[in-house]
A and B are shown apart, each in its own frame.
Chain A
Amino acid sequence: MRKEETVKLISAEGFEFVIHKDAAMVSQTIRNMLTSPGSFAETEHGEVTFPEISTTILEKICKYFYWNLQYASGKQTEFHIEPELVLELMMAANYLHT
Chain B
Amino acid sequence: MTSPLLEVRDLVVEFPTRRGTLRALDKVSFDIAPGEVLGVVGESGAGKSMTGAAIIGLLEPPGRVAGGSILLRGERIDNLPPREMRRIRGKRIGAIFQDPLTTLNPLYTVGRQLTETMQTHLDIDAAEARRRAVGWLEAVGIPAAAERVDAYPHQFSGGMRQRVVIALALCAEPEMVVADEPTTALDVSIQAQVIALLKRLTREKGTSVMLITHDMGVIAETADRVAVMYAGRVAEIGPVRSVVKAASHPYSAGLMASIPPLSHRVEHLPQIDGAMPRLTAIPQGCAYNPRCPHVFDRCKVERPELLPANETRAACWLFDSHAPRERAHV
Tell whether A pairs with B. Answer: no
Q: Residues of B at under 8 Å CB distance from A? A: none
Give A residues with C-beta under 8 Å from B: none
